[in-house]
Structure 1
Amino acid sequence: MSASSPSALPASAPSSSAPLCLLFDSDGTLVDSEILLAEVMGDVLPEYGLPFTARQYMEAFRGVRFHDIVATQQRRHGPLTEDSLARLEAAMRTRMQARMTEELVAIDGMPDALDALAAYPKAVVSNGPDSKIRCAMASAGLAHHFGDHLFSAYTLEVWKPDPGLYLKAAEAMGFPPERCVVIDDAAVGVEAGLAAGMQVIHLNHFPDEEATPEGAIALHHASELPEVIARLASARQAL
């Protein structure tokens, strides 16, 4: 499913008769890109007069829309011109794509988990641009699990924590919210999934520092996913 045509299902789309549809975040959930993004932003933003560090990103901005991060830093340190903002974003995207192409790997345990979950319809739902999602899936060797079922906030013009991004993806996949499972590592994504009325699995990489919100299921490793999804599917089929 191309993110550019969210309301039209392709002929090869999974049947909505399946018990559950799995909606995966990308950065930090499927692919280990968060530290790469943190380092790139920690390099690029200061070049344009916006003090920022990789640690700052990891502690306060994981999963947050890039434009919102830049807007926050401008409020703190002063506004940039439109030309500077455009050059900043272009530099960040170019450097990030290069880092992903050369260094990106899947989250530990995720390839095996996706193999075990092959029977479930699934999609990637990300706050990132479509080109970044495609680069991430290809670089980490996960593209075959999702095909064109990729949904970008930049294309659909709604960003997590707004539940609309997950709701639009569910509609395009042919599933009601209650039959969708969101798998997301970031607070903004967990919040979006819960607000959308979906079942939410929080892949919590920092359990000593980050609490899982009430209503979400906390996992600490991707290897736990198949068992939890099987349990949720059984519960759904029993209704």
Structure 2
Amino acid sequence: MTPPSRESRRPVAAVLFDCDGVLADSEALVNRILAEDLTTRGWRLSGSQARETFLGMALPDMLPMIEARVGPLPPRWAHDLSRGIAETLLAEVEPVPGAVAAVRAVAAAGLPVAVASNSGRAELLAKLDRLGLADAFGPRVLSFEDVARPKPAPDLYRAAAEACGAVPEDCVVVEDSLLGCRAGIAAGCRVLGLARETEASVLAAVGAEPFREMAELPTLLGLRQGVA
């Protein structure tokens, strides 16, 4: 799929960010905690194996896969796991290089920004607090708990566009996973694919425009303001 030329693109009305791997360098932490939990239940996984198995997935979509391997989970398993992840993230997670400055530059240029994540709400808010970005997004923070269907369905990015007062066709999504890119494309957005954990060719194959560093984002959006 070939992206439209710069001349034919609609003006950008809002920028919609994924969180894990785009804003928060949290994949390794989350996958470590998940792998440790599942290993105690009989599914031996390393953090890297957990990443390969569950990258981009929301917890409700992970549950059938997990229970098929380890049997029924305790009733509060998802709640307790999310709480443990949130506590760890609040204490340890660091930003993706260039991400905080990129968000600030986009907001300073007058574009509304939202974050749309397959994480649970508690985890997502913990990450934004830790990164110092909660004020940048304000109420425009959406988790899988806020929509009927998580990514790769388009619901999250359609809701994020609405929260910004824009139509999806005028929004740019910033993603790093295959599932997330598919969600943005399905919503009708232009998708920029950060090629850190996923190969650029894989992101391009579903219609995303790959890029390498978050510091490039203002230039890709055609903003005059750069990232310090």
Give the % identical residues.
30
CA distance in 1, matches of 2:215, 2:198: 16
CA distance in 2, matches of 1:217, 1:115: 22
Aligned equivalent of 1:113, options 72, 77, 102: 102
1:166, 1:193 within 8 Å by CA — same for their partners in 2? Answer: yes
User: Superposition RMSD on alpha carbons, in Å?
Assistant: 1.9
**1:59 paired residue number:** 52
CA distance in 2, matches of 1:136, 1:162: 23
1:134 aligns with 2:125: yes
TM-score, normalised with respect to structure 1 = 0.81
CA distance in 2, matches of 1:117, 1:200: 16
Helix, strand or coil for the counterpart of 1:30?
coil
Matching of residues 108-187 of structure 1 within 5 Å = 108-118=97-107, 119-187=110-178
Q: CA offsets, 1:68-109, max 9 Å, x none?
A: 22321322x24215xx1x343233122211211111111111
TM-score, normalised with respect to structure 2 = 0.85
Segment drifting more, 52-61 vs 26-35 = 52-61
- The amino acid of 1:155's aligned partner reads D
Gaps of 5+ in 2: 1-10, 224-228
CA distance in 2, matches of 1:213, 1:24: 18
The offset of 1:201, in angstroms, is: 0.5
1:70 aligns with 2:63: yes
Q: CA offsets, 1:114-163, max 9 Å, x none?
A: 22212210001111222221111001111121111111211223200001
Residue 209 to residue 216, structure 1, CA distance change in 2 (3 Å): closer
CA distance in 1, matches of 2:24, 2:134: 11
**2:31 paired residue number:** 38
CA distance in 2, matches of 1:67, 1:213: 27
CA distance in 1, matches of 2:200, 2:37: 27
1:48, 1:88 within 8 Å by CA — same for their partners in 2? Answer: no
Matching of residues 208-219 of structure 1 within 5 Å = 211-214=202-205, 215-219=207-211
2:169, 2:188 within 8 Å by CA — same for their partners in 1? Answer: yes
- The aligned length equals 210
Matching of residues 84-103 of structure 1 within 5 Å = 84=74, 86-103=75-92
- Structure of higher RCO (CA pairs closer than 8 Å, 6+ residues apart): 1
